[in-house]
Amino acid sequence: MKERMLQIAKSYLNARQYGSGHKEIIDGYNRITPLPRGYLVKYNDNWCATFVSYVMHKAGYKGPFECSANRLRESMKKAGYQISGIGGAGDIIFYDWNSDGWSDHVGIIVSYNNGVYKVIEGNHMHAVGYRTISKNSDDVQGIFRLPCGEKKTEKKTETKTKTKTGTKRITKKLISDVIKGKYGNGKARVEALIKAGYDPDKVQKAVNKAL
């Protein structure tokens, strides 16, 4: 499952904030059920933890998920995922830039060689990108290893989630209502459609076709 998680993460490499890849990450996270704290991530929010959580979810993990790096670290620590040794591919790495105990950033380790981690991160210079950092860096706050053997269980959960949200049938009435502005515009429309159980991307394509 870690290999799949890394493949998914790498598929978004160079996706820039506000671009289509970034939008897919944010919208995908917002479809997680139940949505952590009920908070719909906005396109202008910090999104490093959102990226990690979305990739984990898409790979078949059952959590914990969070859009806050610090909350994600606290949840993983509570679940007993923190390790004291050297991290490896697929492990989650947290950073504390100010040495104040707060997690400022998070990414997924791609590889470890000669004392250096290669990490893929969301919101790295406003895009999905790589960082290299020494395992001895003071900025490294902690490494967390996700459990194995969740694939079968999560496949069922993921299928159930897709049935609940984002798959409601797009009708002529819905298209008409969207065109009339009953669901709002821009980000407000996306959030309203997600809450109503529709896939905003599919709705937009249907609206474009109708116009």
Model confidence pLDDT, tens digit, residues 117-137: 999 999 999 999 999 999 999
pLDDT at 166 over 70: no
Half-sphere exposure (Cβ direction) of 28: Cα atoms closer than 13 Å: 21
Nearest to 1 by CA among 141, 123, 134, 155: 155
Q: What confidence score (pLDDT) does residue 161 get?
A: 41
DSSP secondary structure string for all residues of 18-71:
TSHHHHHHHHHHHT-SSPGGG----TTS--HHHHHHHHHHHHT------SSHHH
Q: Which residue has the tokens 């890849």?
A: 21
**pLDDT tens per residue across span 9-24:** 999 999 999 999 999 9
Least confident of 25-34, 63-72, 82-91, 171-180: 171-180
Q: What confidence score (pLDDT) does residue 165 get?
A: 53
**pLDDT interval class at 190 (50, 70, 90):** confident
Nearest to 131 by CA among 153, 107, 101: 107
Q: Is 200 helix (H, G, I), strand (E, B) or coil?
A: helix
**pLDDT tens per residue across span 74-110:** 999 999 999 999 999 999 999 999 999 999 999 999 9
Contacts of residue 99, Cβ cutoff 8 Å, sequence gap at least 6: 138
